[in-house]
Structure 1
Amino acid sequence: MFRNIYKTNFLLRNLCNPPVCPPIVPMVVTLIGGSSRVGQLTALQLKQCSLIHELRLFEFKPFGQTGVVMDLNHMPFSTKVVSYSGLDSLRDAVTDAQVVVICGGEPPKPTMKEYDLFLENADYVRDVALHTAEFNPNTILCITTPPVTAMVPLASEEYKRAKVYDPKKIIGVTTLGVARTNSVIGAYSEQDPGAVMCPLIGGMGTSTMVPVLSQTETGPKLPKPAVELLHNKICKSEDEALSLKYLENSGPCILSSSFATARFVTSVVQGLNDNFKGYECAFVRQTGHIEPFLSYMTSVIKLNRKGVKSLHMPYVNDMEGEKLQKAAIIIRKQIKWGESYVTGELLEKKRRVRRPIHECEIIKLDEQSRICDIGMDKCSDKC
């Protein structure tokens, strides 16, 4: 049931490029890290989106973007590209923007620990969150800077301190994980990867992402050992690509990352225009009966004018449930990284602690209820 609904909406969203009809309101998108390699490639694709009226490129460095902006404006598309440079101009860059996208920062490297990556990028994301919370709290904040599982809680805590927190407007982009998952499944099953749609839950890392292969056409047909091999192949795809690119001295995986970022931002813009009919996967604040298990998690979402319209949890089998239980231990730790970076609490000590076992009730759904719709309007007061 889930894969049929999901695939149908996915195909509807991808029958063609973003609609050519004029936007309902002038749409302004701010891209943080616009002069980075991944930022430039993302801007190249967003420049071609007819729904975006103005694309603002911001870079913390006080110079280095003028040529990039002029180069982009030489493309014959209606989207206007504007440059903002230096911390002093960050306020102007985010003010009145409907969408703010945080990309760039320190990219992941082979064998690099996620905590070290978090420390490298925490201030980068926090500076933007401070400005958006102060000068434009109603914007949709999309975070792609890794690790997303720690950066979304970090930004959320800044919004809570400013008393403007809305869980529907802070989104961790995990579209790259979905793209890799669909590509690996397509290559394995010898079918068009664009026709594959595998929902992704958990986090956005080798040890935290859980592709729900049971909800694809390929997964149920495979024996358990083959499913395990395919799962490992998907989870290790980023590490394999990074290793090869660094051996070739070609840097991080900016091509697939920029594609995924641009695709998700286009979906958000379509949602703001009430023109988004499909689904996306994203790392967002959880509500309802999922929250006691994980306060933040990658799940299937719908988008509208307010950001995240609703959350959906696909039915998972026993093997996927076990993997989600293991991933949840790491995700909780990374959530704590982001929250404690703002609140000032001491981070967890590096020692073994006996953790309570959390029953994952969300995976005990029966076959007749494979999707659990969770209305974001029912968010608890403590959010």
Structure 2
Amino acid sequence: MAERRIDPEDGAAYTWEEFSAYYAGKYKKKAVEAYWEECEKRGRTRASAKAKAKDEAWGKKAEPKAAPKAGEGQGQSEGQGQGQGCEGEVKSAGNFKVCVCGGAGGIGQPLSMLMALDPNVKELCVFDLSVAMVPPAGVAADLGHLERKSEVKGYVMEVGQKPIDNLKECLTGCDLVLVPAGMPRKPGMTRDDLFKVNADIAKGIVEACAKFCPDAVLGLVVNPVNSIVPAMAELYKKKGLDPLKIVGVTTLDVVRANKFCGEIMNKNPNYINVPVVGGHAGTTILPLFSQDKVAKLIPEDKIPDLDKHVQDAGTDVVNAKSGKGSATLSMAYAGARLGRSVLAGLMGKKRTECAYVKSDITDLPYFASKVQFGEKGVSKVLPIGELNEYETKRMEEVKAQLKGEIETGLKYAED
């Protein structure tokens, strides 16, 4: 039997193959080997000594030892919340099948590339419509030349056809489905117009997933997320499936909050973890700066403008691109970050990220907060935590706006 050692970061045991595959490309080989050797001493050193040894192995100072590993999520915080009960069988590292629906689009292409680079992805499927900017088979062929073990396949569907009739091979056996498919908001379109178009697109994909990969985690990037996720989760619930398999990808709000705080405080954003709760649009985006050790040091009079900066960041990108595009590259980065955390959870290395899911931590049925990913996907929806006076006031604005957007999604699911 292969030797297993304890990773002090999460207390779980791994073989060298699993351990090295996880850290490949994130740290130099010698650093990974050094950390592996330190893991062997778990029975003869105290936790503090092991933490120090780990930091020395990475060539870091001891001070940031509590920071997330290689940008993987927001640490290992636990809490009470909604969960799925006992965990299932742990899946092996480096052996996952992932599909990107809308994989030939502006977000889809870089997202597909980042997932193809993930050492835990064995098979990557790139699906899109025949009207995509490039054929998905071309994206797959391009990614197939990367120096990675992942096998990449492209799948195309003609406009007007149904995913459930075309995606059996593409989706069967998938562990994670990322969905950046959908139409961007065009001039003259209302939010309701956008919702109707994109909800129908998402519904087709979700119905196909329910049939061919019901155990997969579905990461939805389809806008408006605040309404789309409740609609799709309720449809899953109607089919007798777990609504917590439907996850709204709000990671970009966290990424932006971390980055902007780092710029203000002249700190590395890798060591900043600002929880962003509520929803994924405008005033529903609430960064909890008070809950991060760096961000809480920002002067109070700067917080309102910083809060607004995070809310309006998407519009800033659209303006910077002169209306010729939106946040595609940063969204792909954020989606891949969530994807890596999901896969790490599936193989038993629990990860925590903010995500928009079915929730009972507030009086709203859907809410973005810290979510723990485990062997079956979402294992815990974590509580919001303590809010300061500014955040408490903003929370009321969040709930007022989010309530109506959730109701739009619930009404769609009833029809």
What root-mean-square deviation, in Å, do the aligned CA atoms of Structure 1 and Structure 2 show?
A: 2.3
1:305 matches 2:378: no
322, 329, 335: which one pairs with 2:393? 322
After superposition, give the CA deviation of every residue in 1:58-82 in whole Å (9 maximum; x if it has no partner). Answer: 1133882222111110112100001
Other structure's SS at 1:282 match: strand
**Separation of aligned partners in 1, 2:357 and 2:168:** 25
After superposition, give the CA deviation of every residue in 1:291-326 in whole Å (9 maximum; x if it has no partner). Answer: 5x1110000011111111112222211211111111
Match of 1:129 in 2: 206
1:126: Cα distance to partner?
Answer: 0.6
Match of 1:163 in 2: 240
**Separation of aligned partners in 1, 2:388 and 2:192:** 31
1:23: Cα distance to partner?
Answer: 3.9
**Separation of aligned partners in 1, 2:225 and 2:398:** 14
Runs of 4+ in 1 over 4 A off after TM superposition: 7-10, 108-113
Tell me which amino acid in the other structure corresponds to 1:239: T
For residues 222 and 10 of structure 1, do their structure 2 counterparts lie closer, same or farther at Cα, with a shift above 3 Å needed? closer
1:296 matches 2:296: no
Alpha carbons 1:100, 1:140 under 8 Å: kept: yes
Tell me which amino acid in the other structure corresponds to 1:335: I
Tell me which amino acid in the other structure corresponds to 2:168: R
**Separation of aligned partners in 2, 1:271 and 1:122:** 28
1:263 matches 2:337: yes
**Separation of aligned partners in 2, 1:269 and 1:123:** 28
Tell me which amino acid in the other structure corresponds to 2:68: L
Tell me which amino acid in the other structure corresponds to 1:343: E
Alpha carbons 1:62, 1:85 under 8 Å: kept: no
Match of 2:150 in 1: 79
1:339 matches 2:413: no
Alpha carbons 1:55, 1:81 under 8 Å: kept: yes
For residues 222 and 54 of structure 1, do their structure 2 counterparts lie closer, same or farther at Cα, with a shift above 3 Å needed? closer
Match of 2:291 in 1: 215
For residues 191 and 25 of structure 1, do their structure 2 counterparts lie closer, same or farther at Cα, with a shift above 3 Å needed? closer
Other structure's SS at 1:182 match: helix
Question: Larger radius of gyration, structure 1 or 2?
Answer: 2
For residues 188 and 304 of structure 1, do their structure 2 counterparts lie closer, same or farther at Cα, with a shift above 3 Å needed? same
Unaligned runs of 5+ in 2: 1-63, 74-90, 158-162
**Separation of aligned partners in 2, 1:188 and 1:62:** 43
1:30 matches 2:87: no
What is the TM-score of this pair, normalised by structure 2? 0.74
Tell me which amino acid in the other structure corresponds to 2:407: K
Match of 2:53 in 1: none
162, 186, 190: which one pairs with 2:262? 186
Return 209-218 or 255-264, whichever deviates more. Answer: 209-218
Match of 1:362 in 2: none
For residues 134 and 197 of structure 1, do their structure 2 counterparts lie closer, same or farther at Cα, with a shift above 3 Å needed? same
**Separation of aligned partners in 1, 2:330 and 2:234:** 30
Other structure's SS at 1:297 match: strand
Match of 1:11 in 2: 68
**Separation of aligned partners in 2, 1:233 and 1:170:** 28
Other structure's SS at 1:279 match: strand
What is the TM-score of this pair, normalised by structure 1? 0.79
1:25: Cα distance to partner?
Answer: 7.0
Count the aligned residue pairs.
326
Match of 1:98 in 2: 175
Unaligned runs of 5+ in 1: 1-6, 17-21, 345-383
For residues 84 and 156 of structure 1, do their structure 2 counterparts lie closer, same or farther at Cα, with a shift above 3 Å needed? same
1:182: Cα distance to partner?
Answer: 0.8
